[in-house]
Amino acid sequence: MEEVKEFNSGKGCISFNAFLYAQDFELSIEDIFLNKEERELATALVNRNIKIKLPDPRKREADILLPEFNSQIEVTKILPHKIRSKNNAHGEGAHINARFCEGFVRTMRMGVNKFFVVFHKDWEQYGWLKKLSNQLKPSVISLSTNFESGWENQVAEEISQKLNQ
């Protein structure tokens, strides 16, 4: 009613609250993820009876939320093929570095129990990433994969094991 009143007074307004009944559209929560890798991993987690939640678009949250465990998952398929330094603001290393640092902030300052960073295995060759990953353990957990067939099941299994430790 408030929106109708505003609209009728000449102001344009659009609600940012939308409610979908998944059963009406024959959707499951994992179908709603836009990114292919996030959708695949979400499906693999649901298949392991791990409840997932979509991030709130108004907040800066990770890609997949695990509310029962107060944990989050960030998935990045970016490859290291341009500039290898983590400090170059335009290189892929800065993106990977930021995902790990974001996990650190969420676990240390925002009360997240575990923050998983899923990244391409080609990053394992960089010593700075291994050092950073070791510094942030055990709250920030790095999981590398090749993003090839079946990767999501392997990563979902690793996440499941870490959550149940």
Tens digit of pLDDT for each residue in 62-95? 889 999 999 999 999 988 865 455 555 446 778 8
All domains in the chain, ordered by first residue: 34-163 (3.40.1350)
Task: Please give the model's pTM, rounded to 2 decimal places.
Answer: 0.78
Question: What 3-state class would DSSP assign to 107?
Answer: helix
Average pLDDT over residues 23-27: 67
C-alpha distances in Å from residue 53, one per residue of 46, 66, 72, 135? 10, 6, 10, 28
d(CA 156, CA 165): 14
CB atoms within 10 A of CB 59: 6
d(CA 99, CA 132): 11
d(CA 49, CA 67): 13
pLDDT digits (tens, 9 = 90+) for 7-19: 778 766 566 666 6
- Amino acid of residue 99: R
Burial tier of 14 (Cβ tally within 10 Å: 0-12, 13-18, 19+):
exposed
